[in-house]
């Protein structure tokens, strides 16, 4: 092992933009950036014009889905060609089903199924989601081939149980290993 932290770590302090914590130094071989490069500015850590994500943003299409009473609509998302849905239904205050990844045979790292719940007039009342996150730091592999079928259950908030007439789901997040 002859390489180590070349020059820096840019510690990004919450709410304070970029704060530089120069941990520069050289490893046992003396490796360091040459004058032509500047480790403090080489990594692009800000993107003018990029609106930071707002965690409460709705996936596109859920606000206008307006599914018919008694149904569960599937709103198009970016990864619809990578999975199949089976058994999707709204019953007993829960939208549920199974998603099977068809594009890869590997561990499922990230999956979010977002559901919108609507009243009898098709107005969006609220949203909720089912999240699958594989923590690689603690993950252990299941027996056999990777299980690429993820069942999901998304409950209607108790306060809205008597108003929800339909649902729509979409999949905005999907990452395989």
Q: Does residue 162 touch another protein according to CB under 8 A?
A: no
> Does 7 participate in binding another protein (rule CB under 8 A)?
yes
Residues 45 to 64 in contact with another protein, rule: CB under 8 A: 45-47, 49-50, 52-55, 57, 59
Q: Does residue 137 touch another protein according to CB under 8 A?
A: yes
**Block residue for tokens 């923590």:** 135
The verdict on 6 binding another protein (CB under 8 A) reads yes
Residue placing its CB nearer to another protein in the complex, 121 or 143: 143
The smaller minimum CB distance to another protein, of residues 22 and 70, is found at 22
Selected from 86, 89, 123, 133, the binder of another protein by CB under 8 A is 133
Residues in contact with another protein, counted by CB under 8 A, come to a total of 68
> Cβ neighbours of residue 65 under 8 Å, at least 6 residues apart?
73, 75, 116, 118, 122, 124, 168
Query: SS3 for 159?
Result: helix
* Strand segments (E) across 66-165: 72-74, 83-91, 94-101, 108-118, 124-133, 149-155
Rg (CA), the chain: 23
* CA torsion through residues 122, 115, 84, 90, sign: negative
Q: Contact at 8 Å (CB) between 158 and 87?
A: no
Residues lying near another protein in the complex (CB under 8 A) are found at 1-12, 14-15, 21, 23, 29-34, 36-39, 41-47, 49-50, 52-55, 57, 59, 78-79, 81-82, 103-107, 109-110, 112, 131, 133-134, 136-137, 141-146, 172-173, 175, 177
């Amino acid at each position: 092992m002859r390489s180590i932290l070349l020059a820096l770590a840019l510690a990004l302090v919450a709410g304070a933009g970029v704060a530089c914590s120069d941990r520069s130094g050289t490893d046992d071989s003396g490796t360091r950036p040459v004058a032509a490069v500047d480790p403090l500015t080489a990594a692009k850590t800000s993107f003018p014009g990029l609106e930071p994500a707002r965690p409460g943003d709705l996936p596109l299409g859920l606000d206008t889905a307006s599914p018919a009473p008694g149904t569960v609509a599937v709103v198009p998302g970016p990864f619809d060609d990578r999975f199949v849905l089976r058994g999707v239904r709204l019953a007993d205050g829960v939208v549920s089903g199974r998603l099977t990844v068809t594009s890869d045979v590997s561990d499922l790292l990230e999956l979010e199924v977002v559901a919108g719940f609507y009243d009898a007039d098709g107005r969006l009342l609220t949203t909720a989601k089912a999240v699958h996150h594989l923590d690689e730091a603690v993950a252990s592999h299941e027996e056999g081939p990777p299980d690429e079928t993820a069942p999901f259950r998304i409950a209607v908030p108790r306060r809205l149980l008597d108003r929800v007439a339909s649902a729509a789901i979409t999949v905005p997040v999907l990452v395989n290993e």
